[in-house]
Structure formats: C-alpha cells, structure tokens
Structure 1
Amino acid sequence: MINYKQLFNMKIEEAYTKRIALHIAAGKCRKVDMEVEGYPNRKSVNKQLNNIVHDSMFTRSLTLFNHSSYNNIYPLSDLMLDRFCFQILTSIHHKIKWIDVEVSSMKRILSANYPILSGLGIYNIEKDTDLDIFTDETSLMYILKNQISSLMIESSRKQGRPRDVNTRIFTNILNTFINLQYFMFHSWFSSFQRISFRHLRPTVFSSTLLELRVKVSSVDDCLFLLDGRFNQLRAFYVDIGSSLPNSTVKINKEKLPNLRCFSLYCFSEIRFYDNIIIPLLHRMSNLEELALYLSSVVCDKKFIDGNNLKQNIIDYMPELNQFRFSIHSTILLKDQIDLPSNEDIKHSFKDFSNNKIISCVNYFFEAKYGQCHIYSCPYLIPTYENISNNFPGGLFRYVSDVSLFDEHPFEYEFFIQIAQSFPFLKNLTITNQKGQNNKQYRKSNNNNEDFLLIRYPHLKYLHFKQTHNDYIEQFLLDTKTCLPYDILLFTDFKSLQRVTHNFTRNATRINCSKMRYICFDRISRFPKHFKNYFLDTEIHVL
C-alpha cells in the first residue's frame, strides 16, 4: 500500500532539488553562451557542453529561461536556445524527467521526444491564445497529456488581461491531463489573476489528482474545489485573496476522508473563522499535517489562543501529527476591564508539548483594537506583519516581507533588531506617526565610535505609509543605514522633500542615489535637483 505521507514529502524534496538544479544549470549555460558569443575556444566550449550532458543533476531537471533579481522571467536568447536544441537536448532528451520553460519557447523545446518526461513547468502564461496550448488536439500539450503527472504553471505578472483567463486555463489543464497527480497553478497577487469560479462554474473532475497548490480569489472558490470533485486528493495548499464569502455560500458537511495535508494561507481580514473555516476543518478528520496562516482574524470577544485551537481543531483530528500556524487575531476595545496578557496567551498552550509556540499581545488604544499573534516554530512563511515594539525577536531566515506598526516610537535599537532578525529582508513597510524620542548619535559602551551602520543587504522595496519623517530620515541618512543598490522607494513627496532639504542634503544623497523613487502625488512643478538626486524616478498620477 502506498504511504502517501512519504510520497508527499518526496515531492517536496524533489521540488527543492529542482530549484538547486535550476541555478547550477543556468550558471553553466550562461558561461558557455558568453564564450560562444565572444571569441570561442571551440575545444573548451565542447568540453563544457560534454560536462553538462553528463551531469545527472542537470539532465534530471532542466530549466530553460532567464530570470532577473526581481524574479521576472524572460525567454532565452535565440542563440542560446539554438545551442540547447541542436547540441544539448539531442544528447540528453532520453534522460530528462522535468523541464521548466518560458511559454514563448515551449514549442521549440518540447518538439523533441522525451520518453521519460513526467514533470513540466510552464511560465509567463498570459494571453487568451495560450488557452490553445491546452485545448488544441494537435498541440504538444495534447500529445503529452498521458505522460505528464506533475505540472507547474506560473502566469505572467502583466496587467490588463481578461479576468477569467487563468480560470479557463486551470480548468482546461485538469480536463486535458488525464494522469495528472501533482498540480501547482501560481498566479500573482492581483485579484484578476487568481482562480475564481464566481461567474464560471466549470465541469471539472479528477480521480488521479493527489496534490493541488493554487491561489484563489475567495473562500467560496476554496469550498468549490473541496466539494468532492477531486476525490483522491491527499494534499491541498490554498492561498485565498479576498476573505469576503458570497452571502449565499452553502457549507458542505461531506467528509474529506482521503485528505492528509491541508494548508490555508489568507492575508485579508477574516470574519468567517467560526462560520466557515472551523466547519471546513471538521470535514478533514484524517488530516496528518495542517498549516493555518491567517493574518487578520476579527474576533467578537476573545483572541484565538491555544484553548481555541485545541477545542475547535486538534480534538477533531486524531491523526494530526504536525500543526504549523501563524495567526493574528484582533478584538475591538470597548472599555473591557480584564484584557488577556501575553502570559495568559502563553499559558493557554501548556498542552502543546510537541511545538515551540510564540505569542505577542498588543493593545492599540488610539486605534481602539487589540491584536494577538501566535505562531509555531520554525516560522516558515515569507511574511511577518504588524511588528511592534513588543516584537519577541528571533531569527527568521524564510521571511522576506515585513511590516512594522505601533503607536509608540521605533527607536534606533529597534531597527537593529529588525535587521538582525530578518537577514533576507526584501520588502519593508513602516507605519508609525510618532517621532523618535532619541535621534542623537549614541556611543558604544566599548569605545568612542558610533554604533555600526544598520545594514539591509537584500532590501528591494521600502514603503513608508502614514510615517513620521524621523523614519524616512533613519533610512536615508548614510550615517545610520547602509542600503544596497537599486531599491524601490515609496513615500509621499512632501515628506521626502523635507527630509532631503528640497533634494540638496548631502547626508541623504548617497542612499537616495541607490533608489528608484516611485511618486504617486500630483506635483505641479518638481524642484530643480529632484530627478538627479535619485538613481531613477517614476511619476504615477492617480
């Protein structure tokens, strides 16, 4: 009998290995291509090609596209593509088990015969015409429909496409690939790109699909996919965009006995935790692995704590052996007398002996709400939201997207902690209207030198939302912060103008010269030195 838990873990490991192979292969091929385009040493090039052909990691999983530092994907150059098709693929086509391709190059690459190919990744799907790939009976996809058991689709980031293109592609894939077992459909965060069945209720079923990873528009779409149409599904990973359910949504009570792994990711405000999420989980009595990542659950009276999770979830899943979660819950402050402390929340997890649980409770009396964040360790998701001065610290190697919020000032030491806790931080958003209490330089206890610069070596996006000028200055002063090259900066123009002394301040010039400033304000006339002060500027008038 097949052990589906082992099968699930094996596929995760294969996906990780495939990503390693991607970078190794890309590095080797770029090196070969540069030599060919320059003054080639034919003997050296042929030797490198021969090494690639005999590299088992390369031949097992092949990726044929380029990608930028912002994770944009581009097709290979015609020269490189020709070299692959005519000199490499002809020698290794019988060894390849997985291929990743950019959609515009797919026809040329897949025209060869791949007798053991079982996995395929297609990237930059974007147009209505791409539907033909999965519907035309003469297309390569139709020819491979019996052979492919694992499929990854990634849509393009481009805007302006018809709303239901991804939904129709998703549906056609499931109707075409009759032996599909593992399917991931990755769309970007735009609501137009997520799978939605609100206006289109397709007839789609699969008795072979074991694992599905998908981003959907709403919780209704999640319920639609779990209505029994995939009766052999063992693992379901779903990212929900909008949390507002249809007013006529019907809660299906039919059990999902084959489901062993379920992951729910929702970073919108949730008001259906008790009415929809809990009843949905009660249908999954045979779960072995559960992950809940919920960024804002609105509660009536009490935070979600250990008692809630045990009584409403864990007690209904006798087979559960792994429970990962990160849950923010909020309550409105209405002159309550006995508000739970962080110690109270910690105590509610006394029976969670197999997991290290961290909790953090904040009360924002100006905004009149309280927030409780509970999460299991290790913290595996890429986002950590609404960090306050009560941040418990730790090392978060998987987190790249962080937001900060408080009604009390963030001091210099707080940003040191953020930089140390999130070494791979790429996207930082700061919201704090309170100015810093101590802006003066502070001396080290060991010597007379100022504190070291705070470094954010991987930062790509910096957002200031309703932010005091002190925090903009904190990041722009080269005596306080060291920034990498080519950062996108988002902040209001007037604040930036004040901090940079009308774009003439030398102390902020170095960091600004590394930034691309994205301006959304309506400005009648820009100062003389404005555009030359930054690496680049983009003006978007809303």
Structure 2
Amino acid sequence: MYVFMLRLSQKASQSLKENMNRSNVHLFDLPDEILLIILNKLNNIGVLYSLLDINNGRLNVLAQENTFTNILKFVSIDDTSLINRFCIDILPRIHRNVKCFIFDPIFMERILLTTDYPNLIELKIHNFHEEISLNYFTNKSSLRSIFQEQITNLILINNDECARTCSSDYTAKIYAHILTFFKNLKILRIIEPSVVSYPPLSLCYFPSTTFSSSILTHLYINVQTFDDCLCLLDGRLKQLTTLFVTVCCAFNYSRTIHNMNKLPNLKCFSLQIFYEFQPYDRIASLLHHRNSVIDGTYIQHDIFDCMPQLHSFTFYVCTYVETVDLSYKLSSEDIQQTLMNIGLQDVTSIVNYDCDSRVACSIFSLPFQFRYLKDLGNKFPNIVFSYVTYLHVKDNDPFRHEFFVRIAKSFPLLKYLRIYNVRSSLPVDLMTFTSDNCQLYSTIEYSHLTTLDLSCAHREYVEQFLNETKIYMPCLMDLLVKLDDLIAVTKNFTRNETRRNCTKVKTLFIVPPRLDVEGLCDYFPSLYKLTIFFKCEEILTIND
C-alpha cells in the first residue's frame, strides 16, 4: 500500500476535485501531473518494463517523460529477459533523457554500449572492486570515451575488503588512477557497503602530485591516517568545495610536517576520526598541544584558520588516551568549555572511561550526521542520533536495562549493535534465566536491528537481548555470540522466551568452537550459515 503526499498545481488540483466528486473514478481519470508523481514514487525500471507498448499512448508518453527517466537503477536484477528488453527496445527510446545510471558491474558494459547517452554525467556502481578499475578504467576500454569525456559525478560502492589489500598499492592503482583517467570528474564518492571498511586512501609516502586534481569540487572518502587527511588539505585539490573524510586508523603514520595552505574554496567539511593510543601522541605533537585531547583549541587553529570560507563544519572525533598519561580527571564539561570559547554552540562531547586504563573522548557537531558511533558508555547526552545505524557500546561499569531503553529511543534507525562489557549488574547466583522476573521490565523493541554482536559481552546481556519479554528484535538476521552463553540462556535450545528473537537469524557466528550443537538448527529455523570461530579466526563454516 502506497501513501502519497502531493503538491499540485492549481490546474491539477481543480481537475482532481472534479474527478473526486464522481462515483466511478479510475486511474486514467487523474491528470498527467498526478500520474507522473505516482509513477515517480515507484521503481522506474519496473514501470518502464510494464507500461511501454501496452497500447496506451498516454501512459507510453508519460513513461518516457524526462523527469522520470533521468535516473535508471539496475541493481539486484537476475531477470535476463528484463535486461534484454531494456537494451534492445527501451534504452534506445529514452537514451537522451538518461543523466544517471545506477548498476552492478555485470550490467555496466552492455548497458553503456547499447546506445549513446548524450546527457549522461553520473554513474553509481555497486559492488565495485579492483578488477573493475583494471578492466574498464583504461585507455583500451570500450567505455573509455564515456568515462573520460562525459562523467562528472562518480559514486563507487566499494566491495573490496580493507584487510585483503595494501592501502598504498590500492591508492596508486585505483584512487590516483581514477582522478587521472576521468578527465572531467568533479564529484567523487567512495562509499562502504556495510560496516566492513574498504581500503582507505593512503598518501603519506607519495609525492604531492599523487591524487591531485584541478577541477574536483566534492570528495567523500576514507583515509588511512590523520596525515593522509592533512595531505588532502595541502593544495593538491585546489577547487575543492566539499570534503567528507573518515580517518580509519593511525597505527602507521609518518613524521612529515605538512604545509597547510589556505583553502579559499572549501565551504563544507565533514570529519570523522577514530584514534587509538599511539596516534594520540602524534596529534598532540602536530598541534603543539598541552595534552592529547582534541578540543576547541585544535579546531580553531588547524581548521578554521586554514579555511576562511568554511560555513559548514560537521565532525565526529573519537580519540583515546591511557589514564596513566592524564594528570587530572578529564570531564566532558572541560572539553565543552573549550568548544564554547571559540563560538561553537551546536556541539557536544562525551568522556567515557571504558576500562580501567583508558578513556575515550568524543566531540561532535549537532545534529549528529554520521552512521557510526563508537565506544558509547552509560553516560551520554539526551539527544536523538537520527542517522546512526552502527553503534558500539562499551563501559567499565555494567549496563542496566534502563540503558538499553535509552539506546532504543536515542537510536531509532539502529541496524548494527556491538556490546563490549564483561561486567554484570546482577550477582551470579541470581542469574537463573527464568521467566519469574520478566514483568519487572518494560519490553524494548529494536525495530530495525539486523546484526547483534554479543561475542565480547557478559552472559547477562545475551539474556537481555534474546529474551523477548525484555527486548524484541523482529528483523535480527546476524548474531555473534559465545556458544556456552547461547546454550545457557536458551536452556539447551528449549526455552520459549528466547525462541522468537532467533527465528529470523540467517547467519550465526559462535565462539569458542564446539561441535556439540544438537538442537541448534531447529531453534534457528531460518539459519543458512553457521560460522565457528577460534581466537577470532574462522575455522568452520557450514552452509545449509
């Protein structure tokens, strides 16, 4: 069932009112403007396939309308006859309207060579991997003229895994080559398909001419280190107006001193950083700061002063320091004050002592506009994180039921949750996993949660999440958990209260390895993949 909100012209509105007064109104009685709005709410590939050549001249014209055919999406299509008809019959008729293609690489060559597309300027390629670049982004490619002369906006959903390739090699062969090969590229977006990161950009050991462009205006990309982020700001991208960058890690960093030139054209900057231990010292030395906490002083000196035209700065910086290096008790109020001192009002900070020896310090702009949030503890501000789909919670103190109530309310679109907490809020002798105390809790619903990682969580949290009287997860498909905890909480796969949350699980990762899993498959009726890990290494995968 579709519900449409329509904004109509006066003529269309009057026509609609007249038709609504009739008792036998049909779809074809609606004015063209309304029909086109309805069609644009549907999948245009399906509409084109269904409506063209059905002996209705009006629908035939509407289906080929410019605003309806300027973006075509061919993703997750396994119908050969559909692709054949599009390439033979439909695309040659609408080719002048097409401005953007969204497709899987397996369709790319056939679709792009079907006819000419004089107005095509944008490509979005799903499941992009290194071989695509090596095979098609070359001077010998049959698609060379389209890539080099027409495409100004390139979006790659990168499916290459970070752990399987060297970032510097990937930078030279793929990223740097793309900026050289696409002669008119102005917008480049490299996007990760899931929580698994793609190979980040690594520039530190290359000359300043690497990954450079005189026309690129928008860049969205992951980089290896903080140094790599500084490289992007050293003048090699002179026309850059918008930069969205995520610093993935920083265990390998150089000691190069970067010459930070003024960036007069940069107007929108989004920065996301996660730093562990050693990089903290690196940032401090770069900034000549009195400690290793990134705060308002850092933002003023190394961002605002270098970007005089900047009018939009969104950021999420999560840095870590060992408590032994702190000479005082760090608080979010301290950091908040430095941010207010430079006039930043729509920002906040979180300080989380997530273990005995480490403190995680986060500062971010409001509203929070990133998909990830890491190392969130028991204490966090009362705001709604509307964009976050991936959340990692960790604390030295145990999480109570009320904490997960707040998580459900504060993260309404949460899809991936990882819990890292080995401390229980209950004495061991009270952990009987019976239904007697179920009514003590209000049931929480995580409506969108598809992946739950409890592999580093106390058994109490396995009980919290699998017991449907406490938490209900209607979309849970991937579960990571210690097998012994799973057996205990489900009472050897017989307990009714934990059964419903397991019914849709398709992928189960269990640690440590045990092969005596009798009753498991019956308890997980949708299971098609069982993966057993030992010391974080996969040792056995069973596909049903």
Tell me, yes or no, if the aligned pair for 2:417 and 2:451 is still in contact at 8 Å: yes
The separation in 2 between residues aligned to 1:156 and 1:176, in whole angstroms, is 21
Match of 2:224 among 214, 217, 221: 217
C-alpha distance 106-494 of structure 1, shift in aligned 2 (>3 A):
same
The separation in 1 between residues aligned to 2:327 and 2:281, in whole angstroms, is 25
CA displacement at 1:402 relative to structure 2: 1.0
Question: Is the deviation greater in 452-461 or in 144-153?
Answer: 144-153
What is residue 231 of structure 1 aligned with on the other side?
A: 238
Match of 1:29 among 45, 52, 57: 45
Match of 2:359 among 341, 346, 370: 370
Match of 1:174 among 172, 176, 179: 179
Query: Matched residue of 1:263: which SS?
Result: strand
Query: Matched residue of 1:504: which SS?
Result: coil
C-alpha distance 199-308 of structure 1, shift in aligned 2 (>3 A):
closer
Query: Matched residue of 1:491: which SS?
Result: strand
Query: Matched residue of 1:323: which SS?
Result: strand
* 2:120 is aligned with 1:117: yes
**Post-superposition CA distance 1:227-270 (Å, at most 9, x none):** 54433333333223331344453523444444444333233426
CA displacement at 1:345 relative to structure 2: 3.6
Match of 2:96 among 94, 97, 103: 94
CA displacement at 1:451 relative to structure 2: 5.2
Tell me, yes or no, if the aligned pair for 1:243 and 1:270 is still in contact at 8 Å: no
The separation in 2 between residues aligned to 1:414 and 1:377, in whole angstroms, is 22
What amino acid maps onto 1:171 in structure 2? A
What is residue 296 of structure 1 aligned with on the other side?
A: none
What amino acid maps onto 2:397 in structure 1? H
What is residue 105 of structure 1 aligned with on the other side?
A: 107
Tell me, yes or no, if the aligned pair for 1:32 and 1:48 is still in contact at 8 Å: no
* 2:411 is aligned with 1:422: yes
Match of 1:469 among 459, 462, 481: 459
Q: List gaps (5 residues or longer) in structure 2.
A: 1-36, 538-544
The separation in 1 between residues aligned to 2:508 and 2:500, in whole angstroms, is 18
The separation in 1 between residues aligned to 2:120 and 2:326, in whole angstroms, is 62
Pairwise mapping of residues 333-482 of structure 1 onto structure 2 (< 5 A)? 333-334=323-324, 338-351=328-341, 353=343, 355-363=345-353, 367-437=356-426, 452-482=442-472
The separation in 2 between residues aligned to 1:256 and 1:343, in whole angstroms, is 32
Query: Matched residue of 2:272: which SS?
Result: strand
CA displacement at 1:324 relative to structure 2: 2.4
Query: Matched residue of 1:242: which SS?
Result: coil
Tell me, yes or no, if the aligned pair for 1:402 and 1:425 is still in contact at 8 Å: yes
What is residue 193 of structure 1 aligned with on the other side?
A: 199
* 2:70 is aligned with 1:60: yes
* 2:500 is aligned with 1:510: yes
Tell me, yes or no, if the aligned pair for 1:432 and 1:468 is still in contact at 8 Å: yes
Calculate the TM-score normalised by the size of structure 2: 0.77
Pairwise mapping of residues 131-280 of structure 1 onto structure 2 (< 5 A)? 131-137=134-140, 139-157=142-160, 163=166, 164=169, 167-187=172-192, 193-196=199-202, 205-247=212-254, 249-269=256-276, 271-272=278-279
CA displacement at 1:135 relative to structure 2: 0.9
Tell me, yes or no, if the aligned pair for 1:278 and 1:312 is still in contact at 8 Å: no
What amino acid maps onto 2:92 in structure 1? T
C-alpha distance 376-239 of structure 1, shift in aligned 2 (>3 A):
closer
The separation in 1 between residues aligned to 2:284 and 2:151, in whole angstroms, is 33
**Post-superposition CA distance 1:79-104 (Å, at most 9, x none):** 22123223332222112222222211
CA displacement at 1:424 relative to structure 2: 0.4
Q: How many residue pairs were aligned?
A: 485
CA displacement at 1:321 relative to structure 2: 3.2
Between the aligned residues of both structures, percent identity stands at 31
The separation in 1 between residues aligned to 2:424 and 2:442, in whole angstroms, is 22
The separation in 1 between residues aligned to 2:445 and 2:453, in whole angstroms, is 17
Tell me, yes or no, if the aligned pair for 2:274 and 2:319 is still in contact at 8 Å: no
The separation in 2 between residues aligned to 1:145 and 1:211, in whole angstroms, is 18
What amino acid maps onto 1:126 in structure 2? H
C-alpha distance 243-256 of structure 1, shift in aligned 2 (>3 A):
same
CA displacement at 1:457 relative to structure 2: 0.8
CA displacement at 1:276 relative to structure 2: 5.7
Query: Matched residue of 1:402: which SS?
Result: strand
C-alpha distance 309-485 of structure 1, shift in aligned 2 (>3 A):
closer
CA displacement at 1:378 relative to structure 2: 0.8
The separation in 2 between residues aligned to 1:268 and 1:59, in whole angstroms, is 44
CA displacement at 1:461 relative to structure 2: 0.6
The separation in 1 between residues aligned to 2:138 and 2:301, in whole angstroms, is 47
The separation in 2 between residues aligned to 1:246 and 1:31, in whole angstroms, is 52
The separation in 2 between residues aligned to 1:335 and 1:144, in whole angstroms, is 52
Tell me, yes or no, if the aligned pair for 1:99 and 1:120 is still in contact at 8 Å: yes
Query: Matched residue of 2:101: which SS?
Result: strand
CA displacement at 1:212 relative to structure 2: 2.2
**Post-superposition CA distance 1:30-78 (Å, at most 9, x none):** 4676x79xxxx97389876653322x43322222223xxxxxxxx4522
CA displacement at 1:529 relative to structure 2: 0.6
Tell me, yes or no, if the aligned pair for 2:387 and 2:413 is still in contact at 8 Å: yes
Tell me, yes or no, if the aligned pair for 1:455 and 1:482 is still in contact at 8 Å: yes
* 2:516 is aligned with 1:521: no
The separation in 2 between residues aligned to 1:315 and 1:375, in whole angstroms, is 19
**Post-superposition CA distance 1:163-202 (Å, at most 9, x none):** 5457423333322222221122335666773344578778
C-alpha distance 46-165 of structure 1, shift in aligned 2 (>3 A):
farther
Question: Is the deviation greater in 491-500 or in 312-321?
Answer: 312-321
The separation in 2 between residues aligned to 1:420 and 1:383, in whole angstroms, is 16
Over aligned residue pairs, what C-alpha RMSD do you find? 3.8
The separation in 1 between residues aligned to 2:132 and 2:251, in whole angstroms, is 32
What amino acid maps onto 2:364 in structure 1? Y
Calculate the TM-score normalised by the size of structure 1: 0.77
Query: Matched residue of 2:499: which SS?
Result: helix
The separation in 1 between residues aligned to 2:171 and 2:326, in whole angstroms, is 47
* 2:129 is aligned with 1:126: yes
Query: Matched residue of 1:113: which SS?
Result: coil
